[in-house]
Structure 1
Amino acid sequence: MKVLRYSTQIHKWVGLAVGLQVLFWVAGGLVMTAIPIETVRSEHRLKAAAPAALPLDQALPLAEAARLAGVAPARAELKTTQRGPAWVLTPLEGAPVTVAAATGRPFTAMTADEASALAVAAYRGEAAPRPAVLLDQAPKETGREGPIWRVDFNNAERTTFYLSPQTGEVVTRRSAVWRFYDFFWRLHILDFEDGDNFNHPLLIGLTALTLSIVVTGFILLWIRLARDLKTVRAVRAARRKAAL
């Protein structure tokens, strides 16, 4: 039967070509369902910050802060930070500019000791921190650009806190669990560069090939079940005929 022959050949050779990726998809799915996303994000390692009153008497008016910062903001946010109130000024083009709300100027440079102290204050657990390191360029895993403070903790997950050099806030959390999860996530979507592209030709092509395996598998299953059912009926008919 031509349908059986063609389906068998397609199923066999395409299965051989994409079988490894199907294994990665299944393994990645297992990892992503078995590990709680809260653990991946290290939410259990971050202390809940108590709401703090915003000292408006210490903040310059927006217009004055923007003038001193040399920014014409299209959007502005006044917020409390670990280093005092801050204006976050976002221009129409370019990155947001963060300045001390009291002066309209950038915050003073943060020391390693201060970065460590702020990281410890935000950390939930008993693990000791390693010395804070100021990175000139944020690692790709942070999803950020520019300088950033890194503080590693000696716990089982090897938690890392990344802090803003301006405000001292923990802007990103990473760990060995996150990196393990991220590895399988990249295998799952086949984007090893950025880990966020679902629409590239390789993934689409392999998904289409995998669909052909499923379709031909159903065809083979249907043909074989029909053949087995025909055999069972023939055997029963033979037995009834012999019994007469």
Structure 2
Amino acid sequence: MDWIRKIHKWTSLLVGVQFLLWLFSGIYFNLMDHHKAGGHQYRAHVHHESQVDKSKLVEPKSVLGKAKAATSVKLTEILGQPYYLVNHEKGLYPNFKNRYSLYHAYTGELTNIDDDFARKLALQSYNGPGKIVSAQFISGKIEDFPKQKNPSWQVTFNDEVNTSVYVDGGSGWIVGHSDDDKRFASIFFMLHFMDYGNEGSFNNLQIILFAFVTLWLSTTGLIWTVDLVARGQYKVKWLAKQRQVKLFDKHQQSLGEVKLSTHDNLLHELEQHSIILPSSCGGGGTCGRCRVLISPNAKVTSADTQQFNQEQLNEGFRLACQHFSNDVEHMTLMDVTDANKVTLELLDNRFVSPDIKELRFKVIGEPFAFKAGAFMRFLIPAGQGNYLPVDIPSNYQVHWQGTQAQHYHHDACSRSYSIANADSANGELVFTIKMLPAQSSEHLPGIGSNFMGNLALNQTIEALGPFEDFYVKPENGSTLVLIGAGSGMAPLKAIIEEQLANGANKSIVFIYGARTEQDLIYQQEFYQLAKSDSRFTYLPTLSKPNKDWLGAQGYAQEVLKMNLSSFNDLSNLDFYLCGPKGMMDETIALLKHHDIEDNRISFDDFS
């Protein structure tokens, strides 16, 4: 099922792009000047009385005697002179492959359409201000008229739209006019009819393949929908039922019974009973932390197969966020936390870089203890958001100048953010949240970050936590090396505060990467801390520094690589990583290359 989802997503991207091309080209067709788009701006329509003296005409039989393998003969008038047009190979339409020859109807002599003849025919068909600049005989494909299969003359004029008149090389007929307006319109015809091979037809290989791709998209979408229905992922609230479920802890001790609705998944239903399972992905099935043990007969989702091996699946291990109460009668909770649902009130909300905001909350009710590096899961209610953050400082407004202040609606969701301060007696919690802008007006910005970043002072929000997975192990080495970038600052800043405040006998090296000096959040605080406390070393680095920057340049992992040799005993170092996935992958690969043991490497994958 997983491969069907992947192919469905990629084909939907392809189909979506083509649908946009159809939309934009369709709008153009409605707005364009059809006369100009047809290349007819300087086309003359010739009407004249026949000047043929029939008494001077030679007999058609004498012409047919000269022509070989003629299929038909027709009297026509070109440039005021009579000609017999003899067809030797007839196509279904004039632009199909035809073979003609011209014989003067008074003399019976064969006449070839040469450069001079083609120029005269083009001038007769043209009423613009331009002069002829060239006449070229084209025996192959004509880009302006890809359907034309017969050799033709291209006569070009030097007017403002670069008009070209095409004359059939055998019959002397005008194939058509083309100019810059028509060529521009042809681009949209190409996009609309998927004629990327410029065949001049919508019955092409590309559109046939696209039809099969669309059929595949529809089929896989139907299969995916049926699978979601079969797994109970589509739920109608008013059809939901309450089920009694027996709960056990991982030691098989009874935790009693709870009533869970079939409307929502087990993870969220347990939260309604203040039973908090760890989850950093908010129920997306990607973090694999909300493990429960239910019936081995319960359906296995693609997220389950990614998080558990076959033996665990056979035992009944599943992800709570992927299953509903109609899957279970009893359930073993493998990782129940001491986390609670708490209400937080916003005390301060300020920008600390062009796209990162610091939010300071106080806990309503009893404060709780937590280890530095912990995170909270915020419950974002459904509502209205805004593409543009509020209260942007003047020195950061250039970063947001392309973003329009328009509203959008979003559903309820949850997002996890690391606490950016150490535990303190005042019960305050600090978070550094990167505001994710929309890539375009067709996309939404980061729902969680924009909701949080636009909270007003004294506004409250509910959160679950704290969840403690990323923290300093006191029994390990004597030196902590922290590597971070972007909003990955949050848990590392908390660890630094905790370790120095508790008087830990550990040295701390903090390597932090950013793009520009504006993005170096808490720069002055860390510089001052490095001056006042000999245990702390601060190494900021910029990937896009200005000419006045005197510090390290490049990425955080590159600075770590340059400084590894300065550490005497690598086995006595503990590494804590938090930042973009690319940075952490490269850093872990570097540490593995230097034989750093796994238990010495901790990371918080906020991506």
Inter-partner Cα distance in structure 1 for 2:188 and 2:216: 24
Question: By how many angstroms is 1:30 displaced?
Answer: 3.0
Trace 1:205-244 onto structure 2 (pairs within 5 A). 205-210=209-214
Contact in 2 for aligned 1:115/1:132 (Cα 8 Å): no
Q: Is the 8 A contact 2:156 2:162 kept in 1?
A: yes
2:37 corresponds to = 40
Contact kept in structure 2, 1:157 and 1:177, CA below 8 Å: yes
2:159 aligned with 1:155, yes or no? yes
Gaps of at least 5 residues in structure 1 are: 1-6, 231-244
Alignment partner, residue 124 of structure 2: 121
CA distance in structure 2 between the partners assigned to 1:149 and 1:8 by the alignment = 53
Indicate conservation of the 8 Å contact 1:54/1:79, yes or no. Answer: no
Q: Distance in 2 between matches of 1:54 and 1:171?
A: 24
- RMSD of Structure 2 on Structure 1 (CA): 3.9
Q: 1:167 to 1:160 in 2, by over 3 A?
A: same
> Partner residue of 2:62?
64
Q: Which amino acid aligns with 1:22?
A: F
- In the TM superposition, residue 46 of structure 1 has moved relative to its aligned partner by 1.5
Q: Partner amino acid for 2:99?
A: A
Distance 1:13 1:159, change over 3 A: same
Q: 1:207 to 1:165 in 2, by over 3 A?
A: closer
Which residue does 1:24 correspond to in 2?
21
**Aligned AA for 2:200?**
G
Residue in structure 1 matching 2:73, options 67, 72, 76: 76
Secondary structure of the 2:71 match is strand
Partner-residue secondary structure (3-state), 2:136: strand
Q: CA deviation at 1:43?
A: 2.7
Shift in Å, 1:138: 5.5
Q: Does residue 1:137 correspond to 2:107, yes or no?
A: no
TM-score w.r.t. the length of structure 1 is 0.68
Partner Cα distance (2:23, 2:179) in 1:
23
Q: Which whole-Å CA distance do the structure 2 matches of 1:205 and 1:169 have between them?
A: 36
Distance in 2, matches of 1:84 and 1:39, equals 31
Aligned-pair distance for 1:175?
Answer: 1.4
* CA–CA separation in structure 2 for the residues paired with 1:159 and 1:207: 36
Match of 2:182 in 1: 178
SS in 1 for 2:154: strand
> Distance between the aligned counterparts of 1:228 and 1:120, measured in 2?
75
Which structure's residues are more often helix, by fraction? 1
- Amino acid of the residue matched to residue 135 of structure 1? F
The alignment-based identity, stated in percent, is: 19
What residue number does 1:194 align with?
199
Larger RCO (alpha carbons 8 Å, 6+ apart): 1
How far, CA to CA, are the matches of 2:237 and 2:178 in structure 1? Answer: 55
2:12 partner letter: G
Q: Is the 8 A contact 1:189 1:195 kept in 2?
A: no
Task: Determine the C-alpha separation between the residues in 1 that align with 2:13 and 2:115.
Answer: 56
- 1:183 to partner: Cα distance: 2.7
Amino acid in the other structure paired with 1:39: K
Shift in alpha-carbon separation, 1:60–1:227, aligned structure 2, 3 A: farther
Contact 2:51 2:80 in 1 (8 A): no
Structure possessing the higher radius of gyration over alpha carbons: 2
- Cα 1:181–1:73 shift into 2, 3 Å: same
Asked whether the 8 Å contact 1:28–1:185 carries over to 2, the reply is yes
Q: Supply the distance in 2 between the matched residues of 1:119 and 1:195 (Cα, whole angstroms).
A: 23
Instruction: Tell me the residue number matched to 1:107.
Output: 111
Query: One-letter code of the match for 2:86?
Result: L
Structure-2 change in CA distance of 1:134 and 1:10 (3 Å):
closer
Residue 30 to residue 192, structure 1, CA distance change in 2 (3 Å): farther
* C-alpha distance in 2 between matches for 1:191 and 1:57: 53
**How much does 1:197 deviate?**
5.0
- Alpha-carbon displacement from aligned partner over 1:130-177 (angstroms, at most 9, x marks no partner): 32323252552341433x433222333221112345675533211122
Aligned residues: 221
* Partners of 1:115 and 1:81 in 2: CA distance: 11
More strand by share: 2
Letter in 1 for 2:160: A
Cα distance in 2, alignment partners of residues 14 and 157 from structure 1: 40
